[in-house]
Amino acid sequence: MKRTLLLITLMVFALFNSLYADGTGWRRLIAQPTFDVAMNPLNHNTIFAGGEGRVLYRSYDGGVNWDTLVVGFKFGSVIFNNVILNPVDTNILLVGGLKFGMLIRSTDQGNNWEYVINSPSSLELNGKSLMFKPGEWDTCYLGEFRYGKIFRSIDKGKTWDSLSQVMVWRKYNNLDGTIIDTLVSVPIGCTGIREDSTNILLVGSTTGEMFISQDGGLVWNRTAVLTRPDSAWNDCEITRVTFSDRDPRVGFAVITYLFPKNTNNGGCFKTTDGGYNWERVAFKDTSMWAVAVRGFGNTDEVFVGGYTEDFYAHDTSKVPGVGIVRRSQDGGKTWWSYDQHIDWALKDPKSNAQMNSVYFRPKSDTGFACGLYSAMFKTTDRGENWSDVLYPLKHYLRGVQFVDHKIGISVADNGKIGRSVNGGWDWSEINSGINNDLMSVFFIDKKKGFAVGSNGVIISTADTGKTWQKVNSGVTDWLKKIIFINNQIGFICGNNGTFLKTTDGGSNWNKINLNTNLHIQSFDIVNEQTIYLTGYSGLILKTVDGGSNWSKLNSGTEQNLNAISIIDKANGIIIVTGDLGTILKSTDAGLSWTTKTSNTIRHLYSMGFSDGLNGTTAGQWGTMLRTTDGGENWWITKWNGGPWANMWSMRFLGTKGQEKLYMASEAGLFVLDNPSFVEQFNDYENNELKVFALPDNSVFFEYRNSSNSLKTVSIYSLLGRELLKNEFAGDNDIISSVIPTNGLTKGVYFLRISDDRNSVVKKFILE
């Protein structure tokens, strides 16, 4: 039976800048949830992507323009997560998925369809379970999820036979207490096939087991169990098995799990013997759904993508997965993160906005919090409850302050300033005269105020924010926060160790040397002499002489510290919050710090206290935490689900050796086709390895050795490219050397020292 499709032109995506993750290298091709992607191997301009609700997307120009193909009728819960093209007859397209119950086939690239498998039971494809047989392109296989059935077609998917059923013996407790062995079907999570021996098929189950057939899918044997014996039943799903085009014996698989009980059952696994034995190489605590691999010199490049269904803000029980994209270029030994550099889609951008500022009026129960997507919230009970403020301006808000109970000023990206004269109920836009991003605002009195932001910009007002003028800062670094302690003395912190001071009411600013290049995120002041600063990599600095000398305090963390509040100046009680839910407290003026439980792993960017006991810290995805006992205990008062950032498919597509990585996710279809910023997955603080650049741009390293193995020392760029490599004998207790950098440009690099058992990485900067 054939169905004619409704053909709708979706849009010309290139006209909408919002569809692109500018500057990150990830280009969004489709701004709707996608679950798989396929490319015509004979014409790389033709791309198909599986969508939601019986929707399939088709492009004939490499992803610039897309058609929306609706199979029969739209139905919201159907997910097309298996989309494949026949590599020889590229008019033939096969599509299956979840909540669909059937397999469909087109012989004209999606204009018309026929239903080709009439299974007596509903046909469900969990992971990637549909594939053509390499070299024998008339043959294709399908692994059905619910009943473990293997289907085969030998006519390019037109007709299908039920070839076999994957079965396994299980032990069950009988009602009388006896244990019986029962042969049961295996719920199939995915299928795989080796290109060197195409009679060898693999099945990954939803119980973390791997099965192999050596006769083209007739007989199946279990070869490996990738999970702990006490795993929750049917919650360790092997969703993808794929092999390298460099060495077909090398393959990778990933496991998805949903329940926190199964922590340490996830991750990425590797085989080097064609699928018989598997070893986990990374991410044991992380739920992964997608993996792609290709040859990369004499090793393999691997991408993995995460998945989880727990979006609750109380992340102590959360399964890591959503929003995780990692890459390895050495076959899984070391990994790099794209997590923070992809433009993930938000279901409700305003409610999920990053909260950048929390402000309480002095001696008042009233406070405001603001963030991206024009998000602004108000409390009248010191942070117990927050109500949505109607902020009509399209601003990415960064800071807010109220001069009195009526007049308030907000600052935002692109020089945007908002002004309210009725306590925040209405806002009007003020012309700042600049287009720099504004990060912080501070008023000395009811008339005079300042705002600071990108590229060293400072602007001032003398009429309560009605008009603004530029002030020379003398720097070009991003400026993050401004505070005055009286009408003459003020300070500003910023990136690259920037700290400025004025003694004439903001007319002139002088730079204070902090002896660090780390970004300073925030600061607070006891008096003109005693100041505390917080920044990247756990940095806390203190001065007691007005900035002439600074001492580095031991924060006990390497997380970025984004906000600081001195809540009792007389007794030195200080609260600091930062990335991954970090909350620190000191009761001895910074000599020692204790970590407080936040119950979240979301980044915290801002903080405000209404008095010495009541405070709020806020950050990612609209999350707010409150304390009523001076920071001893915190609980979440507001949160949202966060981004649509589950990965469903990763595939290398395109010309051999020049493939691009395509990623189908709930945030849309992305392609990585430009250089992109990546971060080292583990921010190592390892006393075994010391690395620093010398004045002649060579690099010195010292490593405390723990084995006699030969050591390989490599230098990588931020993109993860290996730039230099040397080998050193491993028979000394301490290995050290100076490595010429051979003309590397200024920037951030990583030095990795490894042997046959261990690998340690540390960052350094060439200046």
Higher pLDDT, 486 or 753: 486
In whole angstroms, give the CA distance from residue 529 to residue 14.
Answer: 54
CA torsion angle 321 351 667 304 (round to 10):
-20
pLDDT for 4 beyond 50: no
Per residue in 140-179, pLDDT (tens digit) is 999 999 899 999 999 999 999 999 999 998 877 777 778 7
More confident residue, 226 or 708: 226
731 Ramachandran zone, left/alpha/beta (phi>0; psi -120 to 50): alpha
pLDDT at position 474 over 50: yes
Q: What is the mean pLDDT of residues 105-124?
A: 87
The pLDDT assigned to 24 comes to 54
683 burial (CB, 10 Å; 0-12 / 13-18 / 19+) is middle
In 3-state terms the chain splits into helix, strand, coil percentages (rounded to 5) of 5, 45, 50
Evaluate if residue 399 carries a pLDDT over 50: yes
Strand partners, 256: 237
With 0.75 as the threshold, say if the pTM is over it: no
Could you give the count of Cα atoms lying within 13 Å of 69 in the half-sphere of its Cβ?
A: 22
Best CA proximity match to 192, nearest among 205, 183, 201, 181: 201
In this model, does residue 3 exceed pLDDT 60? no
**At 168, is the secondary structure helix, strand, or coil?**
strand
DSSP state of 207: B
The answer to whether 65 and 13 have CB atoms below 8 angstroms apart is: yes
Strand bridging mode 288-296 / 6-12:
unpaired
CA proximity to 707, closest of 728, 686, 685, 733 = 733
Domain-wise residue ranges, the chain:
226-347+644-677, 513-640, 682-766
Q: What is Dmax (Cα atoms) for the chain?
A: 88
Q: How far is CA 205 from the centre of its chain?
A: 27
Cβ-contact 141, 97 below 8 angstroms = no
**Res 21 pLDDT > 50:** no
Q: What is the pLDDT of residue 10?
A: 31
Token pair, residue 84, equals 């494949």
Mean pLDDT, all residues of the chain? 88
The confidence score (pLDDT) of residue 11 equals 29
User: What is the DSSP annotation of 598-647?
Assistant: -S--S-EEEEEESSSS-EEEEEGGG-EEEESSTTS--EEEE----EE--E
Contact criterion met (CB below 8 Å) for 455 and 448: no
> Taking 90 as the threshold, does the pLDDT of residue 38 lie above it?
yes
Do residues 164 and 143 make contact, with C-beta atoms less than 8 angstroms apart? Answer: no
What number does CATH give the domain 682-766? Answer: 2.60.40.3080
Total residues belonging to the chain = 767
**Lowest model confidence (mean pLDDT) among 37-41, 141-145, 412-416, 744-748:** 744-748
Is beta strand 201-205 parallel, antiparallel or unpaired with respect to 711-716? Answer: unpaired
Percent of the residues in the chain that have a pLDDT greater than 70, as a whole number = 90
User: Which of 348 and 32 is assigned the larger pLDDT?
Assistant: 32
Comparing CA positions, the residue from 415, 420, 504, 416 lying closest to residue 455 is 415
Q: What is the DSSP letter of 346?
A: E
What whole-number distance in Å separates Cα of residue 275 and Cα of residue 251? 7
Q: Residue 314 corresponds to which tokens in the numbers above?
A: 């109380």
First-to-last alpha carbon distance for the chain, in angstroms, is: 68
336-363 pLDDT, tens digit per residue, is 888 877 888 777 788 889 999 999 988 8
**Token duo for residue 658:** 């020049």
Report the distance separating Cα 304 and Cα 338, nearest Å: 11
User: What single string gives the DSSP state of each residue in 462-508?
Assistant: SSTTSS-EEE--S--S-EEEEEESSSS-EEEEESTT-EEEESSTTS-
d(CA 311, CA 201): 35
What region does 342 belong to: left with phi over 0, alpha with psi -120 to 50, or beta? Answer: beta
At 422-439, the pLDDT tens digits run: 999 999 999 999 999 999
> How sure is the predictor about 678, in pLDDT bands with cuts at 50, 70 and 90?
low
Phi and psi, residue 601, nearest 5°: -110, 15
The CATH number of 513-640 is which of 2.120.10.30, 3.40.1190.20, 2.30.40.10, 3.50.50.60? 2.120.10.30
**Could you tell me the pLDDT band of residue 1, with boundaries at 50, 70 and 90?**
very low
- The CATH code belonging to domain 226-347+644-677 is 2.130.10.10
For 178, other C-beta atoms within 10 Å of its C-beta total 8
DSSP SS3 for 175: coil
CA dihedral 502, 503, 508, 510 (to 10 degrees): -50
Bigger pLDDT: 642 or 753? 753
Look at residues 689, 660, 711, 709 and name the one whose alpha carbon lies nearest to residue 764.
689
Distance (Å, whole) CA 520 – CA 514: 10
More confident residue, 78 or 311: 78
701 CB contacts (<8 Å, ≥6 apart)? 689, 690, 691, 713, 736, 737, 739, 751, 753
Q: What is the pLDDT of residue 677?
A: 58
Q: What percent of the chain has pLDDT over 90?
A: 66
Q: What is the mean pLDDT of residues 609-618?
A: 95
Q: Computed over its alpha carbons, how large is the radius of gyration of the chain? A: 29
pLDDT at residue 122, rounded to an integer: 81
Name the residue type at position 246.
R
Q: Which of 753, 737, 744, 742 is nearest to 700 (CA)?
A: 737
Which is more confident, 116 or 730? Answer: 116
Q: How many of the other CB atoms lie within 10 Å of CB of 196?
A: 11
What DSSP character marks residue 593? -
What's the mean pLDDT in 459-467?
96
Beta bridge pairs of residue 306: 288
pLDDT at 278 > cutoff 80: yes
**DSSP strand pairing (458-461 vs 469-471):** antiparallel
pLDDT (0 to 100) of residue 707:
66
Per-residue pLDDT tens over the stretch 710-757: 788 888 876 667 788 888 876 666 777 888 877 788 777 888 887 765
DSSP states of 434-466 as a string? --SPEEEEEESSSS-EEEEEGGG-EEEESSTTS
3-state DSSP call for residue 597?
coil
Helix or strand or coil: residue 311? coil
Burial class (CB in 10 A: 0-12, 13-18, 19+), 182: exposed
d(CA 375, CA 176): 61
d(CA 52, CA 34): 7
